[in-house]
């Protein structure tokens, strides 16, 4: 029902003839964890904005099930690098805003309890509900953003370098949290996770798609079976994962080198 089919997708901004994305074709099954990998500026975030419905492609189609994506919707939760929290609202109010959109007729007390339960599921104390974003650390703000996205229980989760601005320890904690939340769903969410970090992609993904330099097309992709997925403990010791890591870096560097030579 929630398979995604992207066919012959190309995109350029209005009044600019330069293509950002060119002839993107991807079929993603429900429940896949897809990492979009590539150098900065290669169009990964633009592609994610097309999936959110915030941009419209020049050519091609994006189908969620059998319905085209042409606007934002509650079937897609979004987590941005800059947290996406309204600074004048408390953490709890930010989460409640999403819940009220999803459940407009539900009792407000029930929604508040759901917001608090979701915050607790991402490791936040109930007291955070009443705090403004400026009172929170970067890690806490990103936990709130994840709680906001998960609270409406969307089948699709779109994440644009959500951990890129965090310190190494906080980043690792939130990577583990995300995997735990994704893994424990009976019907796993389909995740699109933008990163330029090869090691992060290997740790999180069941499938990695590499975008080339703009105008971007897919230059490489691979699947990581459940029984072959690395852990934080063996990621840099497993020969198969190390070989895949080197291959991913090689593909990216070859693409960069070809553009420099051209």
List beta partners, residue 78.
158
Q: What is the pLDDT of residues 62-100, one digit of tens each?
A: 999 889 998 888 899 999 877 788 999 999 999 999 999
What is the pLDDT, as a whole number, of residue 255? 84
Q: What is the pLDDT of residues 161-176, one digit of tens each?
A: 988 878 899 889 999 9
| pLDDT band at residue 29 using 50, 70 and 90 as cut-offs | very high
Q: Domain residues for 213?
A: 4-75+155-261
**DSSP type of residue 216:** B
Taking residues 146-162, report their average pLDDT: 91
Q: Which of 138, 153, 168 is the last residue of a domain?
A: 153
Confirm whether 80 is domain-assigned: no
8 with 90, same domain?
no
64 with 187, same domain?
yes
262 has a pLDDT exceeding 60: no
112 with 205, same domain?
no
Taking residues 128-149, report their average pLDDT: 92
149 with 183, same domain?
no
CA within 13 Å, CB half, 153: 9
59 with 186, same domain?
yes
Task: Provide the edge-to-edge strand list for the sheet that holds 21-28.
Answer: 21-28, 4-11, 59-64, 67-68
Number of domains in the chain: 2
Confirm whether 178 is domain-assigned: yes
Closest CA to 191 of 176, 168, 202, 207: 207
134 with 49, same domain?
no
Q: What is the CA radius of gyration of the chain?
A: 19
Taking residues 137-154, report their average pLDDT: 91
Confirm whether 164 is domain-assigned: yes
Tokens of 22: 């060119």
| pLDDT band at residue 25 using 50, 70 and 90 as cut-offs | very high
20 with 56, same domain?
yes
Confirm whether 246 is domain-assigned: yes
């Amino acid at each position: 029902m929630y398979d995604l089919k992207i066919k012959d997708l190309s995109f350029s901004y209005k009044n600019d003839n330069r293509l950002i994305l060119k002839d993107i074709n991807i079929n993603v099954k429900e429940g896949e964890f897809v990492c979009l990998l590539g150098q900065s500026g290669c169009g990964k975030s633009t592609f994610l904005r097309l999936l959110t419905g915030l941009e419209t492609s020049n050519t091609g189609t994006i189908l969620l099930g059998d319905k085209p994506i042409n606007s934002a919707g509650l079937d897609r939760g979004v987590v941005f690098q800059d947290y996406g929290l309204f600074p004048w609202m408390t953490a709890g109010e930010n989460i409640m805003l999403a819940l009220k959109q999803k459940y407009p007729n539900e009792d407000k007390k029930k929604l508040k309890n759901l917001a608090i339960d979701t915050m607790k599921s991402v490791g936040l104390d109930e007291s955070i509900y009443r705090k403004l974003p400026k009172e929170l650390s970067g890690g806490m703000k990103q936990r709130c953003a994840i709680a906001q996205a998960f609270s409406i229980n969307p089948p699709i989760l779109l994440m644009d370098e959500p951990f890129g601005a965090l310190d190494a320890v906080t980043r690792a904690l939130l990577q583990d949290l995300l995997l735990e939340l994704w893994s424990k769903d009976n019907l796993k969410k389909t995740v699109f996770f933008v990163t330029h970090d090869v090691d992060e992609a290997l740790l999180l993904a069941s499938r990695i798609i590499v975008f080339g330099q703009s105008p971007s097309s897919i230059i490489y992709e691979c699947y990581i079976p459940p029984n072959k997925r690395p852990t934080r403990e063996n990621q840099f010791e497993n020969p198969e994962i190390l070989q895949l890591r080197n291959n991913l870096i090689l593909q990216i560097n070859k693409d960069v080198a070809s553009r420099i030579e051209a």
